[in-house]
Structure 1
Amino acid sequence: MKNFPKIATGLLLFIFMIYGCEFQDNPREAVNLETGEFGKLIKKDSELYNTLENTTSEKTLDEGGTSPCVEFIYPLALKVYDSNQNPIGVQYIMSDSQFSKILENLSTDQSLSISYPISTTLADNTVYSVNSNAQLNIALKNCTREDIIAYCNGIISPPLDKPLDYYWRVAYSQTNDNTYLSGRFLINSDATLAFYFNNQAYNGTWFFLFVDDKLHLNINLDGESELAKYWSIDGEVEMNDMNMTIKMLDKNIKLELLYETKYPYKIGDTGPANGIVFYDKGQYSFGWRYIEVATKDLKDLEWGCVASSISKARNNEIGSGYYNTAQIVIYHNNLTNYYTNPAVCNNLNNGTLLAKDAVLFNQDIYSDWFLPSYNELELIYKNLYLSNLGNFTDSVYWSSTEIDQNAVSTINFKTGEKTSTSKIPEKSSTKARAVRYF
């Protein structure tokens, strides 16, 4: 691979002359043309490490290997870590041969990270700005912008020969925008889409493109609704295995890839997430057909802020549990420091939140769980508890359906009675199970 000594500015040459190529006792961040951040660790036995080693090696080409898809535009910085993942130094790289030598000589118990952003030239001579390990891995394996776009489109489109549906769901994030948490995109092979939210479907398009040498995702939904305007966006995107982050001005949006088989299930069967199936609506609509419930109770937490109304979380219907739960979480997240200072809501609260525990719940790698609506909870009682399935106790169980500012719809599983429970019940008096659609 060629070396690209171009665009080495006077400042960079000055840094390089002072610090050279040796590891420094006091590592410095950000040695690219613009200030960057070091990415996640790249371990020596990883696929990305091996690809980098082959990409920078003269030996690969001398022995008739495949020409790499990218050529690095130097300088760039590497940070090296010891076996305990503690940084031991930064090295400034000015050529492929230097990069290759470092990769070759790194100890098996060491790892490294790269300072992003970096620039590479693809095989079609276009420049590609790389901002993460995931983007670097994509660039190393796809030689042109068209290849990268085709790769990204291939990830999001469902294969025609398999009984699978691929969705990109809006995933919960502590720092990103959760406005449309519980929504999911169903992407078609022709780049059309349906966005499912609160039991409604919105049609539109979705495609990747390059803007200013950066990979962007363009989404456009039909209509003039507030939701359609929100999702009519063009934003820089980072792909990372099963996750995608759309970079927006205010807050980023995190999407997570979710695929579901269309195999038949019966009530009482084990679901894809190792839960227990308790509902089948007979056909797929709005991105799901079945509901499964987790096999263990959630933590003993408060339902939420007492004496505060969350009117958007008063839905009873089957299919509204995820939307209810999202609205509960969003409401409390918008309070100033509720979790550390619950007095901003009410002096009686302790800052715990059952709905947040539900959306953070994970079982068998699936993380799209939530609290059931009242009607969904009733199905759990009728279809599982009465058949002695699911290891439920003779307790009161929470739904996500608010009654008023102080009370929530619950069911006493011992009697089957619909009950009204304070958002702050007596300790250990009310239990909860997370559920998910598929």
Structure 2
Amino acid sequence: MINFIKTTRVVISLLVIALIFGCSNFEDNWRETASIDTGTPGKIIEKSSELYITLQKATTSKALEGGEVPPCVEFVYPLSLRIYDNNLNGIGSTNIHSDVEFSKILENLPNGQSLSISYPIATTLEDGTKYTVNNNTELAIALKNCSREDIIRYYNDLLVPPTQNPLQYFWRIKYSETGDNTYFSGSFLVNSGGYLLFYYNTQKYYGTFFFLFVDDKLHININLEGDSEVAKYWNIDREVEVDGINITIKTDPKDIKLELIYESRKEYKVGDTGPAKGIVFYDKGEYTFGWRYMEVATKDLKDNEWGCAASAISNARNTELGTGFYNTAQIVNYHDNLANYYANPSICNNANNGTLLAKDAIKQIQDVYIDWFLPSEGELELIYKNLYLNNLGNFTDSNYWSSSEIDSGNVTTIVFKTGEKNSTPKIPVKGTIKARAIRYF
């Protein structure tokens, strides 16, 4: 586990640096690792980092004496710091009350040690703007942008890829155990000039966005065209936090989480090993709706129930290509919205045991990628035709689950031995149905 955290922390640090300070050559697989939520280790400020060096300039007069342009922000004290050893174990904390104290700690921190700041903190920009900083990314941005207008311009540009970068950026709604997952599986394609497209359930919704300050807090304003339920939901003006490759839209009672994904530079063909070390089983020929390829995981999921017996999830009845992610999101949201289904499945049906295949799929990790889901009927059929029939993927002759519900009690499955499609009860005989997760990229 320690090695995984360290490796992930390094990848995330590189991504944050790329986003904050500019980068034109992303590695192909960085698109996928953008999904990882590292938690606390992502708040670490290493002594060798550019942010650490900039903090030193912000708290000392040496920058001015050397003729350098000083950082743009002044700290409002006190601040709370935590110190870590070279294994990221906390070894102490302290409160600081001035630039002088901060500068001494930064100057004298031993090599190999790191620190973190207890956010949020209050700062003042060069133009007098009061600005609340919530994480390392926002701190780095504040240190390099001296006015309210600079901050707004920076964030507007952040959501759009550089003009020299031909790849498209997508901000996908990320599943969160404690967040608002209403539109989980949807994604925003953000264009220059404040225009965007929202992709959801094979539909496109056009709109606009811009950033603004409200009561010294950064807000994002999103407006989608039309009077659909989707448009009404996303016509918002909310406080926002940006932390590298993750955006949090502050919403009462639950926040909305977004994550950055972008197009793959590498081209794949069916049978190739995908970015997540799965097996590519489909190429639609172009990037639309934030993806071009599908890959399937290399191992089956646990032998768990499909979901609540005799309970209709009509939004999870899509069978077409490109709908498995949406189906899976609908299944998970339905069960998450029941009163403690996982610990008390009898609230749905006495026959259920509280396991949920769709939840297992979206929480699966393979090669650090965590954006998996159950295939739709059409996607499962492609796995059967393009992989199983060509002896690829280490599949068995078993019956495999799709995410496509037929009715309140049954789901489409495919028997790989024969290719036959079946209507299978949501609670089958244990050990008789298998499942394999897929992902888009």
TM-score range, shorter chain: 0.7 to 0.9
Q: Distance in 1 between matches of 2:257 and 2:110?
A: 35
Q: Distance in 1 between matches of 2:179 and 2:281?
A: 32
What SS class does the counterpart of residue 403 from structure 1 fall into?
A: strand
Q: Distance in 2 between matches of 1:350 and 1:253?
A: 30
| Partner of residue 340, structure 2 | 337
Higher Cα Rg: structure 1 or 2? 1
Q: Does 1:121 align with 2:124?
A: yes
Q: Does 1:51 align with 2:54?
A: yes
What SS class does the counterpart of residue 327 from structure 1 fall into?
A: helix
| Partner of residue 30, structure 2 | none
| Partner of residue 218, structure 2 | 215
8 Å Cα contact 2:263-2:290 kept in structure 1: no
8 Å Cα contact 1:134-1:239 kept in structure 2: yes
| Partner of residue 206, structure 2 | 203
| Partner of residue 168, structure 2 | 165
User: Against the structure 1 CA distance between its residues 99 and 283, is the aligned structure 2 distance closer, same or farther, given a 3 Å change threshold?
Assistant: closer
1:359 CA displacement? 1.4
Q: Which of these residues, 406, 414, 418, is aligned with residue 415 of structure 1?
A: 418
Deviations 1:264-285 (A, max 9, x none): 4332233343332222334443
Deviations 1:364-419 (A, max 9, x none): 44432211111110011011111112221221111001122222111111111112
1:45 CA displacement? 4.4
What SS class does the counterpart of residue 293 from structure 2 fall into?
A: strand
Greater alpha carbon shift after TM alignment, 217-226 vs 81-90: 81-90
Coordinate RMSD, CA, aligned: 2.3
Q: Does 1:374 align with 2:382?
A: no
Q: Does 1:72 align with 2:109?
A: no
8 Å Cα contact 2:316-2:328 kept in structure 1: yes
Structure 1 runs not aligned, ≥5 long: 1-38
Deviations 1:52-83 (A, max 9, x none): 22321223332333311211122333344567
Deviations 1:98-150 (A, max 9, x none): 11112223344654333333222223332212122321122123233333223
8 Å Cα contact 1:163-1:263 kept in structure 2: no
Q: Which of these residues, 134, 137, 140, is aligned with residue 134 of structure 1?
A: 137
| Partner of residue 20, structure 2 | none
User: Against the structure 1 CA distance between its residues 58 and 362, is the aligned structure 2 distance closer, same or farther, given a 3 Å change threshold?
Assistant: same
| Partner of residue 266, structure 1 | 269
Q: Distance in 2 between matches of 1:361 and 1:161?
A: 35
| Partner of residue 13, structure 2 | none
Q: Which of these residues, 385, 389, 395, is aligned with residue 386 of structure 1?
A: 389
User: Against the structure 1 CA distance between its residues 299 and 141, is the aligned structure 2 distance closer, same or farther, given a 3 Å change threshold?
Assistant: farther
8 Å Cα contact 1:163-1:261 kept in structure 2: no
1:85 CA displacement? 5.9
| Partner of residue 400, structure 1 | 403
Q: Distance in 1 between matches of 2:52 and 2:346?
A: 49
Q: Which of these residues, 277, 280, 283, is aligned with residue 280 of structure 1?
A: 283
Scaled by the length of structure 1, the TM-score of the pair is: 0.85
Letter in 2 for 1:134: T
User: Against the structure 1 CA distance between its residues 109 and 399, is the aligned structure 2 distance closer, same or farther, given a 3 Å change threshold?
Assistant: same
Letter in 2 for 1:426: V
| Partner of residue 319, structure 1 | 322
| Partner of residue 36, structure 1 | none
8 Å Cα contact 2:54-2:71 kept in structure 1: no
Q: Does 1:228 align with 2:224?
A: no
1:216 CA displacement? 1.2
Q: Which of these residues, 353, 357, 371, is aligned with residue 350 of structure 1?
A: 353
Q: Which of these residues, 355, 358, 362, is aligned with residue 359 of structure 1?
A: 362
8 Å Cα contact 2:74-2:123 kept in structure 1: yes
| Partner of residue 249, structure 2 | 246
Letter in 1 for 2:292: R
What does 1:103-114 correspond to in 2, within 5 Å?
103-108=106-111, 110-114=113-117
What SS class does the counterpart of residue 48 from structure 1 fall into?
A: helix
Q: Which of these residues, 181, 184, 187, is aligned with residue 184 of structure 1?
A: 187
| Partner of residue 297, structure 1 | 300
User: Against the structure 1 CA distance between its residues 202 and 97, is the aligned structure 2 distance closer, same or farther, given a 3 Å change threshold?
Assistant: same
Greater alpha carbon shift after TM alignment, 335-344 vs 217-226: 335-344
What SS class does the counterpart of residue 424 from structure 2 fall into?
A: strand
Q: Distance in 2 between matches of 1:324 and 1:45?
A: 45
What SS class does the counterpart of residue 420 from structure 1 fall into?
A: strand
Q: Distance in 1 between matches of 2:133 and 2:427?
A: 49
User: Against the structure 1 CA distance between its residues 386 and 239, is the aligned structure 2 distance closer, same or farther, given a 3 Å change threshold?
Assistant: same
| Partner of residue 22, structure 1 | none
Q: Distance in 2 between matches of 1:306 and 1:326?
A: 18
Q: Distance in 1 between matches of 2:371 and 2:243?
A: 18
Scaled by the length of structure 2, the TM-score of the pair is: 0.84
Letter in 2 for 1:353: L
| Partner of residue 8, structure 1 | none
What SS class does the counterpart of residue 201 from structure 1 fall into?
A: strand
Q: What is the percent sequence identity of the aligned residues?
A: 67
Letter in 1 for 2:295: E
Q: Which of these residues, 107, 124, 144, is aligned with residue 147 of structure 2?
A: 144
